[in-house]
Structure 1
């Protein structure tokens, strides 16, 4: 078993954004061979780490 324990993705976050920005973001993610969801999850994890740097439970 790997050292990092994967947490089950069991929630959704619905946001409203400008359609043109959404399309540009999704296109750029495609060009970079990643997904929009992956990049948003990465942003959220980084944001949490930066603002709660004492929490050991964050992966």
Structure 2
């Protein structure tokens, strides 16, 4: 895969809107900031790991 194709495959072009408890959201965002990461990055990481762990169940 060329670097151009890799960039295109990592393109973020969709949104996922979820409803969560405000207190949990605030704690999550705060923890992410303390760990020098973003909430979005951690949610994307979770989704990637979840898909990899469950790919055979598809």
Please confirm whether the aligned pair reaches a TM-score higher than 0.5, indicating the same fold: yes
The answer for unaligned runs of 5 or more in structure 2 is none
> More relative contact order in 1 or in 2 (CA 8 Å, sep 6+)?
1
Instruction: Find the partner of 1:27 among 22, 30, 42.
Output: 30
- TM-score (normalised: structure 1): 0.80
Return the TM-score normalized by structure 2.
Answer: 0.82
Structure 1, gaps ≥5 residues long:
54-59
Moved over 2 A (4+): none
Higher helix share: 2
What number of residue pairs does the alignment pair up? Answer: 52
